[in-house]
Structure 1
Amino acid sequence: MKNWIFSGLLLMMVSVMFSQQTVTGIVIDNDTRMGLPGVNVVVLNSTENATTDDNGKFQITTVQTAGSVEISYIGFETKVLTFKVANGGTANLGQIVIGTDSAQLDEIIVVGKGVIDLADSRRTPIAVSTIRAAEIKQKTGSADVTQAMVNTPSVYVAGQSGGFGDSRITVRGFGQDNTAFLLNGQPINGMEDGLVYWSNWSGMSDIANGIQIQRGLGSSKLAISSVGGTVNFVTKTTDKREGGFVSAGVANDNYLKTTAAYSTGEGKNGFGASVLLTRWQGDGYNDGTFGEGYNYFISLGYKLNESHNFNFLITGAPQEHDQNFSKTISSYLEHGRRFNNNWGTLNGQYLSERTNFYHKPVANLNWDWNINDNTSLSTVLYGSWGRGGGTGSYGKSAAKKYTADDQINFDAIYANNEALPNGDGTFGNNAYAIRSSMNNHDWYGLVTNLEKQLSENLTLNFGADLRTYKGSHYRQINNFLGLNSWTESRRLFNANSEVIPVDVFNTVTESQPINHFKGLFNSIDKDQRIDYDYSETISYGGVFGQVEYATEKFSVFAQGAASTQSHQRFDYYDYIAEAEAAEKVNNFGFNAKAGGSYNIADHSQLYVNAGYYSRQPYHDNIYLNYTNQVNPLTENEKILGFEAGYKFKSKFFTANVNAYRTSWKDRVVSSSATLTKDEVFGDITIAAGEQVYTTNEGVEQLHSGVELDFVAKPFSFVEVRAFGSVGNWEYVGDAVKTKRDEDRRVLESKATDVDGGKVGDAAQITAGVGAKFKIVERLSLDADYRFYDKLYSNAGAVKENLLLPKYDLVDAGISYRMLVGKDKDDSVDFRLNVNNVFYKVYLSELRSNIKTTDRVNPKSETDFSTYESAGKIYNGLADGNQGYFGLGRTWSFTISYNF
């Protein structure tokens, strides 16, 4: 009998020891007071773990009746909570509120914590919006990563109609060349012109753990001039726990995307690895905008000890996509809003004249050294190697044939080329070929920052930013289209840029087809290059420092940076050998920022910031008209900014109000347009269909405005976000306007009065509201409404700019997570996006400034009709204006298995 009693007690003990208990809770973002999806929840001293759902909820099955769970999420503080299972086998931890912590930037090792300038690395606030990884994946679908930023105050996204990767964003009315973009602390704006091409970052939505848009002065300590703002992309590094996912997505116009990712987790030896691979392709929304590409991401992490952490990552997105250029409104009305005349057929096969192709691998090596309890050093060493370019027409415009429906007639062009003597093309015999304009670079840099906690309230940062860059640019034949060779002649310049009266002839017989993979290693011989062949070297060195004093009641900071950069141009095509090297130009620049904040109460905070920049001109503005002549007009641009704000935070409501004023002097504004008919500039005739570039030098801009955003959670099943911004962005004084053709010849140059003219290319009034509804457990519906007004044409600096019609859009999506696996640890996620739900027809941008009272044929001696009198008006605009209609209704659907 005693044995039976003992056996029963033993069985009860074993069953209790190995029975499964349940630990539940919901993780809340301290800033937004919303549930955080994708948070890691781990039962310590076990392999039991879970991830929060879209509403921040989690549930872990464990054999422990008491213990601790660790709550960790990228960019947030890590919390450890104890639990004890009550009767019924369940422990509910309730709401777990976690705040942002810039020291927690990845899931295995903290990399670049002193280099990646997130807003919370400084106590004094700025105007900022943060987009989490889950939202990035949900909102982008098949679009560029810029789509994730559309619900942000003072941000305008345009260019989507150009093709995959051709979108661009403006912040507070400033373009991408005047907004700083950082990748894990590495500057990625082009060193020649400051531009960012999103086709080079087509995989960003897959690898980004977060995007932080800092409008205005920002919190970056680098010697960068964030006139409009600073956009920080924080990528994945190496996941802390083993796992991965596979996903497949489809979208409108035959879009298909597949992705696979796997992480080993952190091993006992401190090593870990994460790998992600993606392939995509699609026809594009507009006609003739086919694209395809890949994305790879490899991250290797090593935690040597508690003091030293290392992470190496390499990522790239080789791609090619056919492009759509802006056209007149009348062309769209005649052929449809998807019309694109950059393509045709050859022997029945599709062929585009305009294709962008590029491969830009980027590598980062991060080292974080915790020297002691109050001192740390963060360093990132990086490199990127860009290879690729874009195709276009080459030859006499008269040789370019079109079909009856205005598509390129490659069959007729081919036949014409074959009939030429010896099959040799020249500018004088109406030959036509497709050329590639190559833009290659090698870029290396280092950013390092030492942070010292001088006292409980006083923090000091100082460091260095070093970069070296070499770019090369040339043209080559992409497709001879029936020709055997191409011959051209030119005159050379001496060191004084004087023409030597001797013709130099060049005949090329080799072509280089598009290949975004092989292009990383291939380069055509110099004697097979056409039109131009030049390079430049740019060296940059900067130092920066910041000191901040912060208490529970107030904070103040001061920040400064200084930099010097040198430029030198080398022209191998248009100059004699001893004059290939241009004069080296050195420029010094600096910036200074300061600010402070005051906590009115536990939930309210006021702040003010001010800053001044003296920014060196970009390389493309230093040398005159793409020659070795130094432009005497260039000088440092001067930017003076002021901003103030108020932040309110409560359990159910968070709001931010920001006001700003930014003055920008001695700047350069550029725009481009496609000619709709032949135009004569002096003794130069530019044919219809060619691009003309307009540059306005010495321009001053004044931008001021107010921004509002808030998040509310009135009920447990609904979250509401809203934003609004009202700006007044104007030009001040006079500007020198210069027009150039695609061969960079100056067509005309004159001074013009632009005082009071409105800055174009971005809506000066934006507003939006979005809501997310929890329908049932793990099923949610979200929708966003956006409104845009005071959008002016991107026609450069003009006094009377063209106002586009206002418009609004609605996007919607639905998400569902299905738990699978033995212990429900895995999941299958479904996501459906529909953008522009109500198929709103709108103009997203214009690049000309034709008034309805302007003449249709201004050079005609017999036709004096205006657009208005001729009835050539669309929605209040002259239909001779050129630009883009926005995309119609689009959709995407993704299914992902997470393990």
Structure 2
Amino acid sequence: MKTIYNWIFTAVIALITTTAFSQGTVTGTVVDASLGEPLPGANVMVRGSSSGTSTDFDGNFTLDVSQDSGTIMVSYIGFIAKEVSYTLSGGTANIGTVSLQPDAEELEGVVVVGSGVIDLARDRQTPIAVSTVKAEEIALKSGNQEFPEILKSTPSIYTSKGGGGFGDSRMQTRGFDQSNTAFLINGQPINGMEDGRMYWSNWQGVMDVANAVQVQRGLGSSKLAISSVGGTINIVTKTIDSKEGGFLQTMVGNDNYLKTTGYYSTGLSEKGWSFSTLLGHWQGDGYNHHMEGNGQTYFISAGYVPNDKHSFNFLITGAPQRHNQRNRYTLATLLEKGAKYNDQWGYLNGEIVNTSGNYYHKPIANLNWDWNISDRAELSTVLYASWGRGGSIGLRNYGSQREDNFDLTGQYNYNRSITPNADGLIVGERRADDRRADILRSSVNEHSWYGVVSNFNYEINDVFSFNVGFDGRSYHGEHYRRVVDFLGLDGWDDDTNNEQLGSDYVVTESYSVNPWKATFHDTPRDQRIAYDNPEDIRYFGGFGQFEYATEKLSAFVQGAVSTQSNQRFDYFNYVEGNEKSEKVTNTGFNVKAGVNYNINNQHNVFVNAGHYSRQPYQDNMFLNFRNDVNPLLTNEKITGFEAGYGFRSSVFAANVNVYQTTWDDRVVSGSLSTGEGFYQFQGVKQVHQGIEVDFTARPAQGLQFKGFTSIGQWEYDGNASQTVYDDNQNVVAEGDPLYLDGVKVGDGAQFTIGVGGQYEFLRGLSVDANYLHYDNLYAGFLPTDAEFSTPDNRGSVKLPSYGLLDAGLTFDWKVKDNHNLVLRFNMNNVLDETYIAESLTNRHVEEGVETYKGISVENQVYFGFGRTWNFSIRYKF
């Protein structure tokens, strides 16, 4: 009986308390801003009290409040908390939809400038296949990996570490290599203008300053007439931070990796100024033997927002670095000597010196100006410049390397070189059996690049808008070789025929491979060896787009026209006054269109199509490494089609995309697998088609799953012809047929499946894992492989499939308001899988030849890395 009285007493007190303090109710809906759909289980509290509730399955909530007005705090693990004011009217208030942003240093927390030229796709509106990696994921999972590897869980992206040197990673998008994927930083094109290539050693610091990276697969939505055959990668960096803050981080990893980084931003002052800077240093021994590297990162940004009409931002960033590299080895050699084998080093004066490497410094600067002309009109402009200085390091001698170039341990024998070099300057009769001297040289690639991109956007009404703009670029490149170390000589008689300096001129100056010093080197023409061929490239394009957008339907039509002029200069093969080639001018264009339809709040479908007529690259324009213009010169023709379906719910989102890209009249050039020559293919046609599926699920608070699968069919269509050159740029073979019809495109897995999850099992403590499986990976091929010289070739060699498991652990401790200490541990390839990431040759199994997992050991391959790890401590304030 006493217990019953206690229950009644408690109920009465509760009723009195509720009546006395509850004045009304507040209702609303909480959604994920990135998905646009409800967040079930979000916490909703009245600030300054313990009164609270959580959202239901549809993101709705009803909260009792005791005051006529106040502030509601809405939070969800992994998202930025938000405060919303309320005022009761008739005892109720509806605060509407509260959109929470993922908890990251990302675009929504930054005043973005150059927004008119940064073509970011919008979910459920832009009709393209797109994936976005945000700042928090980049900061946590990148570790001591390189930029391409943070995208490896993106559909149709394949990454490889190449030879394993710092910065030597590469990626493919839908089977197309980096030279045919467009990379942009804040709207600034950064692919090499002469060949479209990307060298990630130049961009070691890009992950430190990135707010987000968006992958637009296929022709994308960029308005520029750029080479987005496989896709467009938009890298959006920090610009003007809206509030003061920064971070300090130190990281250690396998093979003595050490990285230290600091970032600080003043935030936007009352007078509209903002300043930020990032400085960093990294170093490591490298995963493979004697692949040491080190470098720095700097980023300086100054922003000014004088009023609501204008915003300006100037930034300069760079990542000077030097790293060792290694040779290409057959599978047989790596099985005998180990997957980490490297013979490109030896002892010189008691110190280890590597005979192969890379050094470079490529600062870029840009000035962004956004002008909000009116409520309907805006103009965005970016002026940019880039100055690249550096090159690759290697040996140079008078004849081919002999066995005595290497000692009994297999390392380079510097004593062999120093001994004949000890007599000083080598001159006289050129007899290969007498002239065994070596030097270290660098193959220099310098450039000065200036450009401007401007875009005017006008909203005709609430549904129609158009924009027009232009893209101009001026590029000057220098290509030559110079001496790094004479190895005991007083000078070097290069034994090459220089039409302007003769065949007996001697160089006496050596140049440092310190990337900071190389930035300011000026090498006279009489100190250049082997070749000396600068180039000038001028590009100007105009573009326009018409867009229609309603809640249900959005569509765009866009086009661009460009003209490009190329001119080559050659100070070796031509007498003074005849150095210039003719100026070659080509016109290109593109047209693209797409439509997206939102069936309802959960379902949408889209379709897009486009055609490019793209000017050939400089490297494919001139024959025989001379000023001879390629008579078969023609624009490359790219046609793409894509369709997709998207689904969004409160706990699940998914996308399905199908695509086909045809690439005709392609020219391909590169280095031979022997490292002693070059090749060029002409008339190549490829057809890439496939299907992509990806999903995200949040079944419970703190638990998230992601996954994807990519199924591709990438093949050559028809045959081509080939020209082969030796290392001195002499033609070895010309016009030979190359039988490619039906051959699989190599260097990227055509089937990939990945699944990952993240679980926060205690507040601030979470674990994540990601598994990727690769199959239908084929070898690349070169003219030396011979398999494609006859009609009955056996096609591409299929490499063994493999799977990789990565995992991580994060502890995020809130020290105080806006101050967090984040501890992160990453382990990549947890199971220590041994796998071949790529094969540089395409040699099929022959009778009597040893095999490894079904492929011939005569193939030159790159093994992927085994188990690696890193641990970082970051203090954010």
Identify whether the pair has TM-score above 0.5, normalized to the shorter chain: yes
> Structure 1 residues 77 and 811 mapped into 2: Cα distance closer, same or farther (>3 Å)?
closer
Cα distance in 2 for residues equivalent to 1:553 and 1:106: 24
Question: Once the 2 structures are TM-superposed, how far is the Cα of residue 418 of structure 1 from its aligned partner?
Answer: 1.4
Q: Helix, strand or coil: the match of 2:353? A: strand
Contact kept? 1:382, 1:446, Cα under 8 Å: yes
Alignment of 1:426-825 (within 5 A): 428=432, 429-491=435-497, 504-675=503-674, 690-749=675-734, 750-796=736-782, 798=788, 800-820=795-815, 823-825=816-818
Q: Select 1:235's aligned residue among 237, 242, 259.
A: 237
Preserved CA contact (<8 Å) 1:77 1:99: yes
TM-score calculated relative to the size of structure 1: 0.85
**Conservation of the 8 A alpha-carbon contact between 1:308 and 1:370:** yes
Are residues 1:409 and 2:409 paired? no
Matching residue's letter, 2:419? A
Q: Aligned-pair distance for 1:824?
A: 4.2
Letter in 2 for 1:632: P
- Residue by residue over 1:749-789, the C-alpha shift from the partner in whole angstroms, topping out at 9 and shown as x without a partner, is 31122100000010000110000011200000000000101
- Amino acid corresponding to residue 847 of structure 1 in structure 2: L
> TM-score under structure 2 normalisation?
0.87
Query: CA 1:209/1:650 → structure 2, altered by over 3 Å: closer, same or farther?
Result: same
Measure the CA separation in 1 of the matches of 2:187 and 2:99.
Answer: 28
Contact 1:152/1:723 (8 A) holds in 2: yes
The amino acid across from 1:529 in the alignment is: R
Give the whole-Å Cα distance in 1 for the aligned partners of 2:874 and 2:94. 29
Superposition deviation, residue 303 in structure 1 = 0.4
Q: What 5-or-longer segments of structure 2 have no aligned partner?
A: 1-28, 48-66
Query: Deviation string for 1:317-337 (max 9, x for gaps)?
Result: 000000123210011111111
Specify every segment of 5 or more residues in structure 1 that has no aligned partner in the other structure, as ranges.
Answer: 1-24, 44-63, 86-90, 495-501, 676-689, 854-865
Deviations 1:562-582 (A, max 9, x none): 000101111122210111111
CA distance in structure 1 between the aligned counterparts of 2:328 and 2:865, rounded to whole angstroms: 14
The counterpart of 1:250, out of the listed 252, 255, 259, is 252
What's the CA shift for 1:841? 0.3
When structure 1 is superposed on structure 2, of 525-534 and 178-187 the one drifting more is: 525-534
Q: Which moved more, 1:409-418 or 1:472-481?
A: 409-418
> Is residue 55 of structure 2 the alignment partner of residue 31 of structure 1?
no
Contact 2:497 2:572 in 1 (8 A): no
For the residues of structure 2 that align with 1:607 and 1:385, how far apart are their CA atoms? 41
Contact 1:761 1:794 in 2 (8 A): yes
Q: CA deviation at 1:748?
A: 1.7
Task: Assess if the C-alpha contact under 8 Å between 1:423 and 1:482 holds in 2.
Answer: no
Q: In angstroms, what is the RMSD of aligned CA positions?
A: 2.9
Whole-angstrom distance in 2 between the partners of 1:889 and 1:425: 53
- Deviations 1:280-339, CA, capped at 9 Å, x for gaps: 000000112110000000110100110000011110000000012321001111111100
Structure 1 residues 239 and 127: alpha-carbon distance in aligned structure 2, compared to 1, 3 A threshold: same
Residue number among 315, 325, 339 corresponding to 1:337 in the alignment: 339
Q: CA deviation at 1:671?
A: 4.7
Partner of residue 283 from structure 1, selected from 282, 285, 288: 285
- Which letter maps to 1:81? V
**Paired residue secondary structure (2:657):** strand
Q: CA deviation at 1:398?
A: 3.8
Verify the 8 A CA contact 1:423 1:483 in the aligned structure 2: no
Letter in 1 for 2:824: R
Question: Is the partner of 2:560 in helix, strand or coil?
Answer: strand
- Conserved 8 A contact 1:673-1:848: no
Q: CA deviation at 1:435?
A: 0.5
Query: Does the residue aligned with 1:219 lie in a helix, a strand or coil?
Result: coil
Residues 377 and 642 of structure 1, relative CA distance in 2, 3 Å threshold: same
Q: Is the 8 A contact 1:109 1:309 kept in 2?
A: no
Corresponding residue SS for 1:601:
coil
SS at match of 1:756: coil
> What's the CA shift for 1:121?
9.1
Counterpart position of 2:361: 359
Contact preservation (8 Å) 1:32, 1:654: no
1:550 Cα deviation after fit: 1.9
Give matches, 1:351-390, under 5 Å: 351-390=353-392
Give the whole-Å Cα distance in 2 for the aligned partners of 1:880 and 1:65: 80
Letter in structure 2 aligned against 1:462? V
Matched position secondary structure for 1:205 = helix
Q: Which of 831, 835, 848 is 1:838 aligned to?
A: 831
Rounded Cα–Cα distance in structure 1 between residues aligned with 2:443 and 2:430:
18
Q: How does 1:7-26 map to 2 (within 5 A)?
A: none
Give me the whole-angstrom Cα distance separating, in 2, the residues matched to 1:882 and 1:448.
Answer: 46
Q: Is the 8 A contact 1:143 1:164 kept in 2?
A: no
Distance in 2 between the 1:618 and 1:353 partners? 30
Secondary structure of 1:220's counterpart equals coil
Deviation at 1:422, TM superposition (A): 5.5
> Residues of 1 paired with 2:702 and 2:677: CA distance?
54
Name the CA shift for 1:432/1:645 in 2 (closer, same or farther; >3 Å): same
Q: Say yes or no: does 1:876 pair with 2:854.
A: yes
Q: Partners of 2:131 and 2:274 in 1: how far apart?
A: 31
Deviation at 1:625, TM superposition (A): 2.0
Give 2:135's aligned residue. 133
Structure-2 residue corresponding to 1:21: none
In structure 1, the partner of 2:151 is 149
Alignment-mate amino acid for residue 418 of structure 2: Y
The answer to whether the 8 A contact 2:566-2:583 is kept is: yes
- Alpha-carbon shift at residue 240 of structure 1 (Å): 1.5
**Counterpart Cα distance in 2 of 1:162 and 1:470:** 30
Whole-Å separation in 2 of the counterparts to 1:212 and 1:202: 18
Residue 238 of structure 1 deviates from its aligned partner by 2.5
8 A Cα contact 2:38 2:649, kept in partner: no
Q: How far apart are 1:877 and its partner, in Å?
A: 0.9
Cα drift, residue 717 of structure 1:
2.8
The one-character-per-residue Cα deviations of 1:231-270 (angstroms, maximum 9, x if unpaired) are 0000011222112211100000000000111111111111
Asked if the contact 2:30–2:38 (Cα under 8 Å) also holds between the matched residues in 1, the reply is: no
Deviation at 1:223, TM superposition (A): 1.1
Structure 1 SS opposite 2:574: coil
Residue 251 of structure 2 aligns with an amino acid whose one-letter code is: G
When the two structures are aligned, how many residues end up with a matched partner? 804
Taking the aligned partners of 1:585 and 1:457, their CA distance within structure 2 comes to 43
- How far residue 673 of structure 1 moved from its aligned partner, in angstroms, is 4.3
Deviation at 1:272, TM superposition (A): 0.9
